[in-house]
Chain A
Amino acid sequence: MSAARPATSAIASVTSRRIRITQLVALGALILFLAGAPSVVDSFTLAQILTKALWLGIAAASLIFLSSYGGMISLGQTGIYAVAGFTMANLVHAAGGKHLGWDPLAATAAGIVVATLFGVLCGAIAARSYGIYFLMITLAISVIVFYFFAQVTTLSGYGGIRSVTMPGFIGNPITNPVPLYYTALLASFFVYVGIRYLARTPFGLALQGIRDDPARMQALGYNVALHRALAFGVGAFIASIAGILSVWYTTQISPGGINVAQTINILIIAVIGGLYRLEGAWIGALVFSTIDNYSRVWMPNVGDWLGPARFESVIGVIFLVIVLASPGGLVGIWESLWDRRKRRLGPVEPSGVPATGAVDEIVDHPAAV
């Protein structure tokens, strides 16, 4: 999808170099902040906002991966990460569930494998459906997983599995949240880089082709359903990492944590950040966990309508406003502002920002715009 770069004028190349430098500086600052966060912010903020944003971001990234590269908006990610979390929690020592006493790392690997296989199965079911049908089928998958764990108490304990054994390097996340923070940060990094890499492989390119025109790809000889099912499997793999981290983060997993509300929350995070930009996942998650924390403190009481307990209403209104105003989410708003700034700085070709993941090229190759 990389278009031939147009010949750029001298002014434009100076402009683009300036933009490139700005980007590098911003990236460096971000890396410095993330790496040094534990010594900058207090441990409450670290655990309640940053670590939470990181694992929620991975869950949302699995959704955004599917929507931006595969054109599939999936509500099944919560169901899949629940399968990973419950599998892992049942295999290790814990209060409730099967407590089989496996090594935590082996159990983690098993959880990810089981959830990925489950994801491929779900993908095989949903792969022939598109758009709104796909959304509904994947929602049904999530809800059915929820009811399954709510009913099968031998696998979910009574009201959840608590005190899940952690691998040694995590320690106790309640008393010392730093190791878990770095684990989540590293996982986020690998998920981000991994998805960006995958998008450039033949598989990723075929997937984007299928997103843009399934019929043409079919005519070219690609197995469309198989590609979509496998992509769903990749999404499931990413979601299962989030599932494992969520269990480590809360030290427990319960059916109540994977219900429809949580399914919708992951969607809300992805939409707030931007459904078609991978970075949006973590930006949305950061906004979400920040509002989640602080709205419970400063939100004034307005009759029965608003108050500290009305977080869902607040996030729902933000979600509604974003969907009504900018389908590209916060990243989309940022991009249109950035675009305007660039146009002011120098003569560049007018770029209609494409509605889908093709916007990638804008940041990767500023000169091409």
Chain B
Amino acid sequence: MSIRLDIRLVPRALLVLLGLAVVAWIAYKGSQDSRVFWIVTLNGLTLAALFFVVSAGFTLIFGLMRVVNMAHGSLYLLAGYIAFTLQGNWYGVSSNLLSGIPATVTSWIVPLIIATIVIGVAGVLMQQVFLRWNQGQDLRQALITIAISVILADQMVAHFGGIAESIQQPAAWPDSVTLFGVRYGFFRLEVVVGAALLIGALLFLVIKRTRFGMIIRAGVDDRSMVSALGVNIQLVFAGAFFVGALLAGLAGVLGGTMIAVQPGNDSAFLLDSLIVVIIGGMGSLLGAAIGSVALGLVSAYADVYLKFGTTDLTNYAILLTFILVVAVLAVRPLGLFGRPA
């Protein structure tokens, strides 16, 4: 019996070994201090939840229309600014401890809903005005959305300034909850993760169980055939763009409450969405979920566990994201769940 070694298996085997080594290292470091381990893990998972909400919209739009919406991050940031401004102007909420009014559930929810819907409508407008007439020219559409994102980024600096702001969470909500023996931020853990799970479940049900979802799945496979069967595909496109932008808007408000609203977040979250869908595969919801968890956990662990004895490599944490992308692309050029167009 001869053993045949396929040369292409060598990089895969190396990757598996690398993955095992990483898991073993995290397990070893985690067992030394379980409190830190749980906090870091929760950091990674809550971040992953936010990534999922952003990238679900990104991947939905791409999956159906093959449009890479490079203005997705701008929509995310704009939603944060709209909600922040509404909270301040309508309810007088501010983070100023002396003169500010703390937020109530209403003064958090109402700006959230309005900002989310405004961004959804803005997304549809963008699609109708700039993208509808050049369907199929995916690079040109990407360039158009890049141009829009450049203009939006500059205008947001002009109108909202360059200082980091943050949307206030309702004062009635607890600051922290206890899980796995550690105290952890209530908003991050319950609200953001809850929203991500809810959205994931909703999208799954809509896409798998409803007529609209059926049309979307059919549209992903063969647009012209769906159109020929009498479905108004343009209406479906507009609907999908609405939902996709809506998710960016929702994530913008959640992220603006959880972290901050500041210039630069647009490109940061665009990049996060890109990495998530490059890992998970463009157009796949499950891929977006897995990609989000992978990116969230890798960046969280790398920030803390990249210390070997006295050698502190945590500054190089970003390289691990790079390695993650490289590792996935080396094995699957279209991402974990990607399919050729």
Contact = CB atoms under 8 A, between A and B. Distances in A.
Given A148-B318, A151-B318, A143 B271 contact: yes
Interface residues of A, number: 45
Interface string A119-163: 000000110110111011101110110011001111000000000
Given A125-B330, A148-B319, A316-B150, A143 B138 contact: no
A319 interface: yes
A319 B150 contact: yes
A348 interface: no
Given A133-B282, A323-B140, A125 B150 contact: no
A141 B318 CA distance: 11
Contacts of B274: 136, 139-140
Contacts of A333: none
Given A129-B333, A143-B267, A316-B147, A305 B140 contact: no
Given A125-B326, A268-B150, A323-B147, A136 B315 contact: no
A319 B334 contact: no
Given A152-B316, A264-B146, A317 B139 contact: no
B21 to A, nearest CB: 21
Contacts of A264: 146, 150
Which residue of B282, B322, B325 has the most chain A CB atoms within 10 A of its CB atom? B322
Which residue of B153, B154, B274, B316 has the most chain A CB atoms within 10 A of its CB atom? B154
B271 A267 contact: no
B318 A144 contact: yes
Contacts of B158: 304-305, 307, 309-310, 313
Nearest to A128: B333
B154 A312 contact: yes
A151 B142 contact: no
A136 to B, nearest CB: 5
A18 B147 CA distance: 40
B234 interface: no
Contacts of B143: 267, 271, 319, 323
Contacts of A310: 154, 158
B258 interface: no
A73 B148 CA distance: 18
Interface string A291-334: 00000000000001101011111011101100110010000000
A316 B319 contact: no
Which residue of B138, B144, B158 has the most chain A CB atoms within 10 A of its CB atom? B158
A96 to B, nearest CB: 16
Q: Do most interface residues of chain A lie in helix, strand or loop, or is the interface mixed?
A: helix
Contacts of A359: none
A129 B329 contact: yes
Contacts of B333: 128-129, 133
A260 interface: yes
B267 A305 contact: no
A317 B66 CA distance: 24
Contacts of A268: 147, 150
A133 B334 contact: yes
Nearest to A319: B147
A193 B275 CA distance: 37
Nearest to A312: B154
A135 B145 CA distance: 13
B244 to A, nearest CB: 16
Contact of B271 (A126, A139, A327): A139
Contact of A323 (B144, B277, B321): B144
Contacts of B321: 144
A279 B172 CA distance: 62
A312 B156 CA distance: 11
Contact of B154 (A136, A152, A267, A313): A313
A135 to B, nearest CB: 6
Contacts of A151: 315-318
A133 B150 CA distance: 21
B318 to A, nearest CB: 4
11 contacts: A133-B282, A135-B139, A144-B319, A152-B316, A260-B267, A261-B153, A261-B267, A264-B146, A310-B154, A319-B143, A320-B144
Given A132-B138, A133-B333, 5 more contacts: A131-B138, A132-B142, A261-B153, A271-B143, A316-B148
